[in-house]
Amino acid sequence: MPVPAKRRSRSKGRRNRSHQALDKIHFIKCQKCGKPALPHRVCRFCGTYQGREVIKLNPPAGGKKTKAAEHKHH
Residue 61 clears pLDDT 80, i.e. is over it: no
* Percent of the chain whose predicted confidence (pLDDT) is above 90: 30
Question: Which pLDDT score, from 0 to 100, does residue 5 have?
Answer: 72
Q: pLDDT digit string (tens) for 21-57? A: 999 999 999 988 889 999 999 998 888 888 888 888 7
Question: Which pLDDT score, from 0 to 100, does residue 50 have?
Answer: 85
State residue 28 phi and psi, 5-degree precision. -120, 165
* Contact partners, residue 53, CB within 8 Å, separation at least 6: 46, 47
- The count of structural domains within the chain is 1
Residue 11 maps to a domain: no
49 has which bridge partners? 52
Residue 42 maps to a domain: yes
Residue 51 maps to a domain: yes
